[in-house]
């Protein structure tokens, strides 16, 4: 049974950098990216270890800060019983609150983190 000879594919450094950068996105796995480009996942792991293919500092997103409002006085409508609530957002942020909390303030915090 005669088969077609496989040709070796050549990836440019820029293509490798783009593939490596996609594996660093939160929620994205190396195997997903490897399947997308029809390349062996072990090869992508090798590229990730190569310092020449790591994203430069300027490509990394800068941290963002949310505005904070400090209010003096008692918190309005706290939840009566000591409670623990944990909110996990799809963008990877996680908020955990234990004890009494203001529901409106917590909602504003979660909405701000969801952006």
Instruction: Kindly tell me the burial class for residue 63, based on how many C-beta atoms sit within 10 Å of its own C-beta (0-12, 13-18, 19 or more).
Output: exposed
Lowest mean pLDDT among 4-8, 60-64, 96-100: 60-64
Domain boundaries, the chain: 13-59, 63-115
Contact 52/13 with Cβ under 8 angstroms? yes
pLDDT at residue 19, as a whole number: 93
Q: Which of 71, 22, 96 lies closest to 113, judged by CA?
A: 96
Terminal CA-CA length for the chain: 57
> For residue 101, what pLDDT band results from cuts at 50, 70 and 90?
confident
pLDDT at residue 45, as a whole number: 95
Average pLDDT, the chain: 81
Cα 59 to Cα 24, 36, 80, distances in angstroms: 12, 22, 46
């Amino acid at each position: 049974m005669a088969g077609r000879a496989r040709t070796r594919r050549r990836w440019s450094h820029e293509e490798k950098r783009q593939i490596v950068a996609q594996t660093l996105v939160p929620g994205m796995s190396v195997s997903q990216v490897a399947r997308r480009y029809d390349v062996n996942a072990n090869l992508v792991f090798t590229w990730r270890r190569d310092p020449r293919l790591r994203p430069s500092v300027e490509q990394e997103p800068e941290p963002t800060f949310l505005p904070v409002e400090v209010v003096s006085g008692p918190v309005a409508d706290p939840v009566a019983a000591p409670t623990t609530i944990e909110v996990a957002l799809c963008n990877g942020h996680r908020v955990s609150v234990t004890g009494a909390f203001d529901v409106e303030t917590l909602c504003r915090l979660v909405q701000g983190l969801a952006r």
